[in-house]
Amino acid sequence: MWKYILKRIAAAIPVLIGITIIDYLIMSRAGSPLAMMHGPKISESAIEVKAAMLGLDKPIYLQYFDWLKQVLTGNLGYSIKSYQPVTSIIGSHIGSTLLLMGTSLLVGLVIAIPAGIYSAIHRYKKRDYTLVTLSFLGTSIPSFFLALIFIYLFTVKLGWLPSSGMITQGTGGDFLDVVKHMIMPVSVLAVSIAGTNIRYVRSAMLEVLQQDYLRTAKAKGIGRFLVINKHALRNAMLPVVTVIGMQIPVLFGGAVIVEQMFSWPGLGLITMNAITSRDYPVIMGVCLLTAVVVLLANLITDIIYAIVDPTIQYR
């Protein structure tokens, strides 16, 4: 097993390096920091001096190493628009994104796990078909359309919930206020998470329910409740753990749209703003961060899997 874990880490290193190369290439090809200097009052030689100062006259691979050195010391460059360091922009917005994503994942799984198990136990009955159909509906609704429907119903018609931001403007924003602002964005994200995961949990559960050890447990007559909740659930949770790892990039993508819809002040919103204003250092900083997080999340799920599941043989 240790050999497998080491091998897995070794495989992740070139991927990590590749991610930084892709990230740097897109950033440097997309827009030169000199472009905004162009104008009638600036001479060619002034631009050349500036280019030399920024190291832009060096070959691209040397520029990449310079950039990488900076990244390793925690410097992701500066925003073209606000001149703030990218790390501090990310730092001040990551909290609200994590709050949104974490709550949505939790709510989504709290719906999906019982629903998936229920569906698997009642396989091929009406209840099962209803749940599976609902889960397909959850994955088929575009999040922005669901957000529009929610805003129409709960903000415009009923006036129950605020539709933008994280706190009511002009107030300090107590706990209840934040919760009220969170209900709609969390619901939109949770619907798509639940939609995907109901079917994953269902099929994982179905697979476990067919195993011999469950037949034995049933034959021993320990009761349906114990069979399902103790013996089956534990083993079905294993594939579900991997699925949670896979959800992270999906969640982040969803957050970009949902944060935009509800003006939630998180990473997704600043990324979207950066994209519309072509603020490449910010865009690529966020890309790099999320890619590394996803890579680490996959690595950790694989390692947990290797530790928890003794039946899998690793070469």
Short-list 293, 220, 252, 288, CA closest to 72: 288
Rg over CA atoms, the chain: 24
Instruction: Give residue for tokens 């070139």.
Output: 14
Short-list 67, 64, 71, 36, CA closest to 50: 36
Among 113, 184, 270, 283, which residue sits at the site for other proteins (rule: CB under 8 A)?
283
Among 148, 179, 222, 226, which residue sits at the site for other proteins (rule: CB under 8 A)?
148
Classify each residue of 15-31 as buried b or exposed e, where b means 16 or more C-beta atoms within 10 Å of its C-beta. Answer: eeeebbeebbeebbeee
Query: Is residue 156 at the binding interface for other proteins, with CB under 8 A as the rule?
Result: yes
78 three-state secondary structure: strand
Query: Is residue 249 at the binding interface for other proteins, with CB under 8 A as the rule?
Result: yes
Query: Is residue 313 at the binding interface for other proteins, with CB under 8 A as the rule?
Result: no
Cα separation of 169 and 163, whole Å? 12
Query: Is residue 250 at the binding interface for other proteins, with CB under 8 A as the rule?
Result: yes
* Residues from 126 through 145 that contact other proteins (CB under 8 A): 133, 136-137, 139-145
Query: Is residue 314 at the binding interface for other proteins, with CB under 8 A as the rule?
Result: no
- DSSP class of residue 183 equals H
Among 6, 15, 62, 312, which residue sits at the site for other proteins (rule: CB under 8 A)?
15
Instruction: Give residue for tokens 């043989």.
Output: 313
Query: Is residue 169 at the binding interface for other proteins, with CB under 8 A as the rule?
Result: no
Q: Which residues would be at the binding site for other proteins (CB under 8 A)? A: 11-12, 14-15, 18-19, 22, 26, 29-30, 133, 136-137, 139-145, 148-149, 151-152, 156, 249-250, 252-254, 256-257, 260, 271-272, 275-276, 278, 283-284, 286-287, 290-292, 294-295, 298
